[in-house]
Each structure stands twice: as C-alpha cells, then as structure tokens.
Amino acid sequence: KASVMDGDELKDEMLMEAEEDSKPKSALEKLQEERKTLPIYPYREELLSAVRDHQVLIIVGETGSGKTTQIPQYLHEAGYTKVGMIGCTQPRRVAAMSVSARVSQELGVKLGHEVGYSIRFEDCTSEKTVLKYMTDGMLLREFLGEPDLASYSVIMVDEAHERTLSTDILFGLVKDVARFRPDLKLLISSATLDAEKFSDYFDSAPIFKIPGRRYPVEIHYTTAPEADYLDAAIVTALQIHVREPPGDVLIFLTGQEEIETAEEIMKQRTRGLGTKIAELIICPIYANLPTDLQAKIFEPTPEGARKVVLATNIAETSLTIHGIKYVIDPGFVKMKSYNPRTGMESLLVTPISKASANQRAGRSGRTGPGKCYRLYTAYNYQQDLEDNTVPEVQRTNLANVVLSLKSLGIHDLLNFDFMDPPPSEALLKALELLYALGALNKLGELTKVGRRMAEFPLDPMLSKMIVASEKYKCSEEVITIAAMLSIGNSIFYRPKDKQVHADTARMRFHEGNVGDHIALLKIYNDWKSCDYGSMWCFENYVQVRSMKRARDIRDQLEGLLERVEIEATSSLNDLEAIKKSITAGFFPHTGKLQKNGSYRTIKHSQTVYLHPSSGLAQMEPQPRWVVYHELVLTTKEYMRQVTELIPGWLVEIAPHYYQTKDVEDTSTKKMPRGKGHSAAS
C-alpha cells in the first residue's frame, strides 16, 4: 500500500534507517550529503567568485542541477544575507512554495522563518526571513512599495527562459535598479542554453554554465496523429506499466480538469486488474492542488511500485521530480492568447514549441537513460511546431502591467526597455482599456481611481469593480465576489456516484437565476452563516480548501479596502447595486443574445456561448444581455461566470464606451431557447 508520509514521519524514518548504520546520521546530515551530489556543487566556489566579480551574471544549467535550491544557499553561506535578503523569483506559485519548503528542510529551519515564500494572497515570511522565494508577479508588486529594492542584496530572476509577462517586466526594472545600486547583485538563471540573448540584454553580462548530467533519451513518435491525446496518454502509461522495466512515468497534461479526468480513468482501469499488475501510484500536480498533496510527488516510490505523475507544464522546468524514466508528451499546453485587435483574451490549448518538447523529453534522462513518448508524429514535430514559445508579453492583455508601470512613474511605455517589445497595438489597447475604466486620464496619467485600483493585486477589471462598489455601497459583497472569482473553478466537486446530488446542491445557489456572480456570493455567505464549517461544505459538495482560500483572499481585500479608504458597506438585498458594480468593472465584457442562442459581444461582435457550468445555462428563456468574467475557448468560445444585465446600465455606467445605439433592444418578443448552445463538452 502506498504510504503518505509527512515531513516528520519522513525524518523519523530516515533517522531509523540511519541508526541501523554503524555511524548514525541525522536526516539533516543526509540532506547535506545529498546537496553535495548535485551537478552544481563542484562549481560552488567558481560561482561565488563570479558573483563577487560581476554585478550581473547569467546562469545556465539544466533542470535539476540545483540552481534554484542551491544558489541562494551558497550566497547565504557566503554572507550576502548579512546586508539584505536574497530574493529568488519563480514564474509559478507551486514552485515558490515547493522549493522554499525544500530549502528550509535543507537548512533545518521552519518554513517562514529564515526561508520563506511570498505568493499572491499568501505571505509566508517573517522578520527573520533572509531567503525569500516568490512569484515574479510578487516582486513586481514589491517594486510599488520599494522601487530601489532596498531590502535585498541579491535578486535572482529564476526560470528566465519561461519569459512570463512579469519576468519580462522585471528584466527592465531590475536592470535599471542595478545601475543606481552597484551593491545589488543580479542573477538571471535559465534552463535553456541560448543565454546569449539574456547576456546581450544585460549589457553583455557574463554567462556561467553549469554542465548538467544528461543520459540518452530515446524518442518515440506516433505513426499517425492521435485523435484523443488524453486517452492515448493513459493507454501509453498503462502499457509502460505492464511492459517496461521499473521507473516512474511523467505525463504532461494541460490543466486541472484534464488531470482529474485522467486520474479517474486510470484508477478505474487499474482497479479491474487487481493484483495482476504491480502497484501504480498516481500523483497529480497542478497549481491549485493543495500543498499537502503537492508534497506527494517528491516521495520516493516504494520498491515494486511505479509512480505516474500527471502534471501541467509546471514539471517542464520548474519542479524536478526524481526517478522519472518515462515521459509521455501529448504536445499541448494551455496558454493565454490575446487578440490585440479586439482586446479579447482567452485560455487556449495550443501545441507546444520544439524547445518545450525537448525540455519535456529531457525530464526522463535525469537519473539514467530515459524514454520519451511523443503522441504526435515526427513530421508534426519537424514541420508544425514553432522553434520557441512566444514570450507572454507578446500574447497577452497588458492592462495589468501598464497600470503597475504607470504607478511606478514609468510613463513612456513605448520606450520601456523590453527584451522583446509587445505589439504596439497591444500597448494601445491596454491604455484604452485603462482609460475606459477611468484609471488613466486623457493624457495617460494615473487618476485617483487608477491609484486605488493599483493597490489591489487583481486584474484591472476586478479592481475597478471593487473601487466602484464604493459608489453603490456594497463593497462587502463585491470583495466576496472578487475573492470567489480569484479561486478559479475549484469550488464544487462532483463525485461520479453522486453527480445528481452534487448538481442539485449547486443549482440551489442559482435559484431565481441570480447569475453566477451572485451565486458565488450566496455560496460564501451561506458558508459564513454556518460558521465557515466543513460540514456545510461536505453537504453542499463544496471544496473546503477552496472556501478557506477565498476567505483568506477576502480578508486581504478587506484590508486593502481600508488602505484605499473605501468604507466597508453592505447592501445584501440590493442585487442591482451589486450587479452595477460588476458592470462598472466588466462593461467591456458584455454580450447580447442572438436568435440561435449564441451571444454576440457588444463591442467587437464576436460569437460566444454561455458556459455549460453557468447557472444561466438553464434559464428559460435565455437572458438577453449578459456581462461575463472571462472567455475560455474549448470546443467553442465560452463565457464563464455570467450575470444578466439591463442594457441601460451600460450607457449609465460607461457612457464614454457605449452609446444608446449599441444597447438598443430591437426585438421585443421573448426569444425561444436556441438549439445551438447546449451541446458543450
């Protein structure tokens, strides 16, 4: 049976093992020995002297060589933390949490003391903290309070090859800070070998290469394209399990839902086989997975068993998982895509780049020769995949960073020192949106509303919704909705054998077709009125953890309300006030019902559909005008989190954006329910 151990049990077990040896070793000693086996260790002194001699250093080393966990410790041991903290940024919050946990173990300290992490809505650091792992987005926010980063002696921008939006903006900011703070050390570390670009950008900074250990990886392609890559991945994993020698399997999937589906199917298929096959331990890992379950992927696989890790792109370079011998790569990733013409953004499952495919394959050859099963053809790989992933700055909505940069006093965005500049169209769109939201004035300067919005670590439309709630006297309700929207889609669970019960419980919050936003509010308030109880969650098929997270986020938003001097006011029964606040933030996201049951976005005439998970998907007749939180593209372009609105509000709330002719209701008769919209998968 698989045993799940917590840190202490693990230590005990290690201690017991140690006692059997002739000279007893503590768990800590063992960890110290392990540190010395990492590829980076022989380069410790050389690295430290390079840091001493150069202000900016580009560090390149393969995933697993020890960059993230070791370099900050080396610098700490060398005394850099006597004058300031060492900050190490990660593109993903799971990585920041997991790596800091590991480093605190290696140092034998409690997480949050000397070693801590800081991610949005969760600060696990203290006065004592000297090694701080954080998301790149958090360091960006720290700039707002401390533009010279005075509390840091070293900044390590890790996983630079990921080129996330925040990392790219950080490049420009830290490069500038380094100029007037000669005492600040800057490390840019990356897992890909094309470091020249980083070096060029940072005024020809030297490149420090850590030779990795790499074993040969055998690549297998499919002979024909796979129609259903999820099924193909599962079948491949099970074949490996019954046919191949020991070694763990890593499957790259695109998101939580897909991972949960795969887990479910794999469990079903292996259950039938009973003891005919060796034990298969299935470990999911994705951003919203609770911390205690995340740790499971690092536990050693018991003798005779095999582990299958179902991971998002997080396992491509951010996390190193031991013992992986087989990689299954369906060739897809979920990415944000942005249409600068319309300003519309959506999440999209897209083919990966060749660079990504090679990183993924490399994960199987870390501890010995590996095998990588690509669920696409060699021709696909050669002809269809792009060489590199387009940096996020070139494919995303820039409103958020433009607002941050404006708050930092950086006005001339067209001349900001981007490593790869975004399309100027996208910059203009961001300025336009911020202007429409009232965050910028006609001259492009930050307004009072904009300054308040910038205080919230949220997308500008959400921040605007909160700032607007002051006027409608419902800030209490609106921050609850913002918190609930921020936890993503992990509110309800739907056990296979109780789907009907779960759906009934869920629909109860939608009574009266109040819309998804108000339903989120009702869920939260219902839970609150039951003393934030777990029993309530259990009865309503709601995830306790998600609710606790929403509560944390809400507490912080409440604190920020006070900071921007918005009074906490409640209008629980005035749904119109709440919906108007939502509209004040999300008026660019509106749709009008079409005859066939689809919607057309009002400003850009794009066809979109109600997401089947929306409470309004059941409404008869369909709502004519809606405001939505976001678009997701699966089989169709779906609106997720949708509320009905009265078109007159748009002209009332955003007269600079909508004119009466945009929102005229031409037909007066009720529209029958369309056929086109319910077939969703």
Contact residues for ligand ADP (CB under 6 A)? 38, 61, 63-70, 98-99, 101-102, 298, 320, 322
> Residue 322: which of Mg ion, ligand ADP, none does it interact with, CB under 5 to 8 A by kind?
ligand ADP
Pick between residue 315 and residue 520 the one whose CB is nearest to Mg ion.
Answer: 315
Pick between residue 68 and residue 614 the one whose CB is nearest to Mg ion.
Answer: 68
Greatest alpha-carbon pair distance for the chain in Å reads 88
Query: Quick one: CA dihedral 17, 22, 28, 31, positive or negative?
Result: negative
Distance (Å, whole) CA 262 – CA 26: 39
Pick between residue 99 and residue 478 the one whose CB is nearest to Mg ion.
Answer: 99
**Residue 467, number of CB atoms within 10 A of its CB:** 29
Between the alpha carbon of residue 537 and those of residues 260, 431, 484, 614, the distances in Å are: 20, 42, 15, 20
By CB under 5 A, the residues from 172 to 201 that bind Mg ion are none
Distance (Å, whole) CA 129 – CA 116: 6
Instruction: Tell me, residue by residue from 375 to 414, as one string, x for binding to Mg ion by CB under 5 A and - for no binding.
Output: ----------------------------------------
DSSP 160: G
Question: 432: closest CA among 418, 448, 413, 417?
Answer: 413
Pick between residue 359 and residue 400 the one whose CB is nearest to Mg ion.
Answer: 359
Pick between residue 68 and residue 359 the one whose CB is nearest to Mg ion.
Answer: 68
Distance (Å, whole) CA 534 – CA 102: 30
Please state the closest distance from residue 622 (CB atom) to ligand ADP, in A: 48
Please state the closest distance from residue 350 (CB atom) to ligand ADP, in A: 25
> Residue 571: which of ligand ADP, Mg ion, none does it interact with, CB under 5 to 8 A by kind?
none
Pick between residue 97 and residue 205 the one whose CB is nearest to ligand ADP.
Answer: 97
Please state the closest distance from residue 557 (CB atom) to Mg ion, in A: 31
Please state the closest distance from residue 679 (CB atom) to ligand ADP, in A: 43
100 binds Mg ion (CB under 5 A): no
Say if CB 286 and CB 311 are below 8 A apart.
Answer: yes
Pick between residue 192 and residue 601 the one whose CB is nearest to ligand ADP.
Answer: 192
Nearest residue to Mg ion, scored by beta-carbon proximity:
68
Pick between residue 98 and residue 601 the one whose CB is nearest to ligand ADP.
Answer: 98
Please state the closest distance from residue 297 (CB atom) to Mg ion, in A: 15
Please identify, among the stretches 43-51, 62-70, 117-125, 167-175, the one whose residues bind Mg ion according to the rule CB under 5 A. 62-70
**What is the DSSP secondary-structure string of 496-559?**
GGGHHHHHHHHHHTTTTT--HHHHHHHHHHHHHHTTT-HHHHHHTTB-HHHHHHHHHHHHHHHH
Say if CB 156 and CB 86 are below 8 A apart.
Answer: yes
> Residue 90: which of Mg ion, ligand ADP, none does it interact with, CB under 5 to 8 A by kind?
none
Please state the closest distance from residue 159 (CB atom) to ligand ADP, in A: 8
Distance (Å, whole) CA 479 – CA 477: 6
> Residue 38: which of Mg ion, ligand ADP, none does it interact with, CB under 5 to 8 A by kind?
ligand ADP
Please state the closest distance from residue 358 (CB atom) to ligand ADP, in A: 15
Pick between residue 294 and residue 480 the one whose CB is nearest to ligand ADP.
Answer: 294
Please state the closest distance from residue 55 (CB atom) to Mg ion, in A: 22
Distance (Å, whole) CA 466 – CA 146: 25
Please identify, among the stretches 64-72, 80-88, 137-145, 219-227, the one whose residues bind Mg ion according to the rule CB under 5 A. 64-72
The contacts of residue 337 (CB under 8 Å, 6+ apart) are 345, 346, 347, 348, 350, 395, 633
Please state the closest distance from residue 650 (CB atom) to ligand ADP, in A: 49
Pick between residue 135 and residue 350 the one whose CB is nearest to Mg ion.
Answer: 135
Please state the closest distance from residue 310 (CB atom) to Mg ion, in A: 21
Here the tokens at position 71 are 């370099």
Helices (H), strands (E): how many in the chain?
A: 25, 21
The CA radius of gyration of the chain, in Å to the nearest whole number, is 26
Distance (Å, whole) CA 252 – CA 263: 13
* Size of site (CB under 5 A) for Mg ion: 1
Please state the closest distance from residue 65 (CB atom) to Mg ion, in A: 8
Say if CB 107 and CB 73 are below 8 A apart.
Answer: yes
> Residue 153: which of ligand ADP, Mg ion, none does it interact with, CB under 5 to 8 A by kind?
none
Pick between residue 39 and residue 450 the one whose CB is nearest to Mg ion.
Answer: 39
Q: Using H for helix, E for strand and C for coil, what is the string for 587-635?
A: CCCEEEECCCCCEEECCCCCEEEECCCCHHHHCCCCCCEEEEEEEEECC
The contacts of residue 526 (CB under 8 Å, 6+ apart) are 509, 536, 540
Instruction: Tell me, residue by residue from 16 to 55, as one string, x for binding to Mg ion by CB under 5 A and - for no binding.
Output: ----------------------------------------
Instruction: By CB under 5 A, name the one of 65, 68, 81, 254 that touches Mg ion.
Output: 68
Q: Would strands 607-610 and 306-311 be described as parallel, antiparallel, or unpaired?
A: unpaired
Per CB under 5 A, residues contacting Mg ion are: 68
